Amino acid sequence: RRKTLKNLENPNKIRILLTTTIFGRDIGASYVLAKILEHMGCACYISGSNTSYSCITKLWAPHAVIAVTLNKAKELGKIYPNANLYYYPAEGGESYEYCTEKYFAEDADLFHRIKRIYLWGNFTKGHIFQRINELKEASYLYGNEGILGKKCMVVGNPRLDIIRYFPEDLKYNKQRIRIGLVGWFNQLNSKSRGYVIRKMLSGTSIEDAEFQFDLLLTYVKIIEELDPSKYEISIRPYPLETLKEYLEATWAKNGKIKIDQSLEFGTWALNQDLIIGPTSSTLSQIAIAKRPFINLDALSKRSVKAYKNSIRAVFLRHVENHCPKDFKELFNMIENYEKFSVETPEFENVLNDIYNCN
């Protein structure tokens, strides 16, 4: 506690509170942004989901607060009434159905409380305009869309920037062929202990859990079959998973696999020759990292409901030829992994539309 207080003591600098909601997902971009702001002469504090409201943080009295979700923005705006409030989403570029930013068209109090809204791409900005047109006179922005244009600034995807500007000499040190397996087991290995048996006996759908179990079996098959003298395997856990379960596994302890504990998915991706996993928003980072990708959705029997109206459906169209139907095809693709790049002009156009990459 004394160390924390000492770090927060800096009365002569502009104090900026950067918030996170899912630490493993948000910390990389927040850390880089904090370092940039500190270089500009500001004092920064990165808070977790609970410490945003702690007595210490309140007494620090930040001049500016950066919120990463709309709900957090509402809460933080009330807790820090004298601070300038900024919105910079932890997740961006989603399809219209899942886009939370469209609710700016309905919430006048939140919109006016926020000093500046930073968006990942024009794609998201278009969703807000779409919602305004749907609501018409029921939206306070209808006929006043110029206000939105002045307050919103499109700045791109911060995770893609980390990959793009990561120091070249730190990216890669090749010995064996490095294969990265993308963890996706939050139903089986949840931090929140949302046990599958409880969900099943509560009548809740467990399609995601079934898919994750099949995916885990596929990963086990890969680990067992590949020659460790030729391949080095690293697993990066999903941010909502319990890391401890991985670290206590026998294969992790004896070095058969490595468990990644780095702060950012993109920097991990840069250190792989090949990445294997399900369709997810991380595909954008894999493409920017210029790494080949093999998609396991078909082999792991993923339900098409997982893509409905999601940005994953857009991404999936660009990796349909990367989906093995059986293990023979999978291991043949691993042997010829360099053929499965997702860095194509078509996909680059998609990423630019969603995240303003150029």
Average pLDDT of span 177-187 = 94
d(CA 29, CA 168): 18
**List of residues 6+ apart from 98 with CB closer than 8 A:** 309, 310, 311
136's tokens = 């018409």
pLDDT band with cut points at 50, 70 and 90 for residue 1: very low
Residue-wise pLDDT tens digits, 136-160:
999 999 999 999 989 999 999 999 9
Residue-level length of the chain? 358
3-state secondary structure 210-244: HHHHHHHHHHHHHHHHCCCCCEEEEEECCCCECHH
More confident residue, 68 or 7: 68
Instruction: Examine the pLDDT at 102 and tell me if it is beyond 70.
Output: yes
Residue 6: the pLDDT is: 47
Residue 338, pLDDT score: 95
- How does DSSP classify residue 46? E
- Closest by CA to 110, choosing from 141, 156, 142, 133, is 141
pLDDT at 198: 78
* Sequence-ordered alpha helix ranges (H) in the chain: 2-8, 23-39, 55-60, 70-79, 108-113, 122-135, 145-151, 158-164, 196-200, 207-225, 243-247, 250-253, 265-270, 283-288, 311-316, 327-335, 345-355
Mean pLDDT is lowest, of 4-18, 196-210, 261-275, 332-346, for 4-18
Q: What is the pTM of this model?
A: 0.87
Whether pLDDT at 2 is above 50 = no
pLDDT at 335: 97
pLDDT of residue 225 exceeding 80: yes
pLDDT in tens, 253-306: 999 999 999 989 999 999 999 999 998 888 889 999 999 999 999 998 886 555
**C-alpha to C-alpha distances, 322 to 94, 299, 317, 318, 327, nearest whole angstrom:** 23, 11, 10, 9, 13
pLDDT of residue 217: 96
What's the count of helices (H) and strands (E) in the chain, helices before strands?
Answer: 17, 11
CA 210 to chain centre: 23
Position of tokens 């003591």?
A: 9
At residue 9, does pLDDT exceed 60?
no
Round the average pLDDT of the chain to a whole number and report it.
89
| pLDDT at 228 (0 to 100) | 94
What's the rounded Cα separation, in Å, for the pair 164 and 343?
14
Categorize the per-residue pLDDT at 208 as very low, low, confident or very high, splitting at 50, 70 and 90. Answer: confident
Question: Percent of the chain beyond pLDDT 70?
Answer: 91
Q: Phi/psi of residue 253, each to 5°?
A: -70, -35
Which segment of 136-145, 208-217, 247-256, 303-312 scores lowest on mean pLDDT? 303-312
